[in-house]
A = this chain, B = another copy of it.
Amino acid sequence: MANSKYEYVKKSELDDRLPQYNWIVVRIDGCHFKRFTSDHEFEKPNDECGLNLMNSCATAMFENFPDIVFAYGVSDEYSFIWKETTEFYERRESKLLSLSVSFFTSAYVMNWKKFFPQKELKSRPYFDGRVVCYPKSWMIKDYLSWRQADCHINNQYNTCFWMLVKTGKTVGEAQEILKGTHKEEKNDLLFDNYSINYNELPAMFRKGSSIYRERVEETVKLDDNGEPIKRSRTKVIVGHVDIIGDQFWKKHPCILKEK
């Protein structure tokens, strides 16, 4: 049974290699996670175990895909930055997208028990994903600033919203109260009514999670004189820091270094 007469169908497969010397963002986003988190009784507005589970999957991505240089996560979304010169699967978009989202999903289901030992998975968690190219590293900084600014806006709103709802307001009332309020008014609302200082909430909630590699020196053993023998190695760091300002990037110039 020769297969050749059907092989012409392969010609319909498009060449989807992403353009050279562009930074590549793969953003993953929980699908129907409003329902998924409600089914699994996630803490609102932020479930620490849920976020740590997301971070564990993102960290696993760094181990599996060495060309990822930075990742930023907030809520049920995670953005992975691939270096501009990656040749992973010839930069084919469908490979980058499908392997990223599939690996992340696999890690999410497999790591679940570790972060929620008391909860059974009742429904299938799954994610959508997209790929975006940026020709310049300063655009990647703007991209990440966009996500972190969004994190701030959403988290501040959600913190207020859930405090109002937990203390007796209906969903509609809470929305009405918050409509059109500014940053300062929201902070005041939290402080005046609930004695919450927004800036003292956990950094992971306010800043999201940033993952990157850092060279660290570690003592591997002591020599005969009891002096430490150090070795430099690469470590994956999960931080909750400001990435909108220049400070972080000045401290880590290698992450987004251009050719």
Contact with B along A9-46 (1 / 0, CB 8 A): 11111110001111000001001000000000000000
Q: Given that A1-B183, A3-B150, A124-B110 are contacting pairs, would A98 and B129 also be in contact in the complex, using a CB cutoff of 8 Å?
A: yes
**Which of chain B's residues have a CB closer than 8 A to the CB of A240?**
none
Q: Given that A97-B97, A98-B98, A136-B21 are contacting pairs, would A121 and B110 also be in contact in the complex, using a CB cutoff of 8 Å?
A: yes
Choose the segment among A100-108, A158-166, A220-228 that binds chain B (4+ C-beta atoms closer than 8 Å).
A100-108
- The minimal Cβ–Cβ distance linking A118 to chain B, given in whole angstroms, is 18
Q: How many residues of A contact B (CB 8 A)?
A: 61
Q: Are B20 and A146 in contact (CB under 8 A)?
A: no
Task: State the copy count for this chain.
Answer: 4
Select from chain B the residue with minimum beta-carbon distance to A140.
B9
**Which of chain B's residues have a CB closer than 8 A to the CB of A97?**
94, 97-98, 129
Contact of A103 among B12, B124, B130 (CB under 8 A): B124
